[in-house]
Amino acid sequence: MNQPSLDVGIDGCRAGWIAVALQPGEQWDIRLYEHLDPVWEAYRDARTVLIDMPIGLLSGSCAEDGRRCDREARLRLKPHRASSVFPAPIREVLEAADYEEAAAWSRKLCSRGLSKQSWNLVPKIRQADALVRRDAQAAVRLTESHPELVFAALFGGPMAHGKKTQHGFEERLRHLSGVYPPAEAVVSCGLERFPRKSVARDDIVDALALAVAGRVAQGKLQTVPEEAQFDSLGIPMRIAFADQAK
């Protein structure tokens, strides 16, 4: 079904993936999925589909300095939110059986280690990578984004408080409500519908932020870098966001 005015934000969570879909006007939907494939099938025809997960990975010695999109995103989030952009692992790490093997491969192939945070993302990176490798439309239209970059771009700079704190939660929700009035209702619905052991509070806010970025951009997203790098498989590596809200 054609969904030309639907904007979707997707974030990984303990139970799988949380997806927020913003429809025309002030209609919205929030759903939890175990795997990324049905999320894509549900929203592949949306105007924007933004996901907080690395898409496009460097390989071996080409990755010593990391992805350019990650470096540029960190620069925009200095000094306090830069660390929220975890270095994407190299493609070879996706085949590792455990963290120790992954870290050893990373040190050997690209002369840098692998953080535990990055390793914890690997199962979901595998899902995203498999999807964009087999589906040409997904490779073009499933677009990597990052909530902290979205907040900084939309609201004049990086957030003052960490997203897991109460101050950080209130700060982000206040900003989102300013450009999307039902924001509090979306988050409240998610908190009521899904247990915290499955979906954290900040997962809901992050998915909503990506959907709001798509809505604000009206299909005209900005990216870092402006011209995407491509990995060895031809998959674009860029992180999308929307211009500052007027």
Extended beta strands in 176-230, E state: 222-230
What pLDDT sits at residue 245? 61
35: left (phi over 0), alpha (psi -120 to 50) or beta: beta
Distance CA 224, CA 70 (A): 8
- Position 23 pLDDT exceeds 70: yes
Asked if residue 99 is part of any domain, the answer here is no
Tally of domains within the chain: 1
Distance CA 90, CA 83 (A): 18
Asked if residue 233 is part of any domain, the answer here is no
What pLDDT sits at residue 156? 95
Distance CA 140, CA 113 (A): 30
Burial 142-160 (b: 16+ CB within 10 A, else e): bbbbbbbbbbbbbbeebbe
- Position 70 pLDDT exceeds 70: yes
Residues spanned by the domain of 182: 3-54+144-217
First to last CA, the chain: 32
Which whole number is the average pLDDT over 40-48?
A: 97
Which whole number is the average pLDDT over 138-167?
A: 97
Query: What is the sign of the dihedral through the CA atoms of 109, 111, 112 and 113?
Result: positive
Amino acid at site 166: Q
Amino acid at site 83: S
Residue of higher predicted confidence among 106 and 55: 55
215 Cβ contact list (under 8 Å, min separation 6): 7, 22, 48, 180
Which whole number is the average pLDDT over 30-46?
A: 98
Q: Do the beta carbons of residue 59 and residue 232 sit within 8 Å?
A: yes
Asked if residue 244 is part of any domain, the answer here is no
Q: Do the beta carbons of residue 145 and residue 224 sit within 8 Å?
A: no
Asked if residue 69 is part of any domain, the answer here is no
Per residue in 102-133, pLDDT tens? 999 888 988 888 889 889 999 999 999 999 99
Give 72's DSSP letter.
H
109 Cβ contact list (under 8 Å, min separation 6): 59, 60, 61, 63, 90, 92
What pLDDT sits at residue 122? 96
Distance CA 183, CA 13 (A): 19
Per residue in 212-241, pLDDT tens? 999 999 989 999 999 989 999 999 999 999
Least confident range from 40-44, 112-116, 155-159: namely 112-116
What pLDDT sits at residue 48? 97
Mean of per-residue pLDDT scores for the chain: 94
Asked if residue 29 is part of any domain, the answer here is yes
What pLDDT sits at residue 2? 53
Which whole number is the average pLDDT over 173-177?
A: 98
Asked if residue 113 is part of any domain, the answer here is no
* Number of other CB atoms surrounding residue 88 within 10 Å: 24
What pLDDT sits at residue 1? 44
Asked if residue 137 is part of any domain, the answer here is no
Asked if residue 246 is part of any domain, the answer here is no
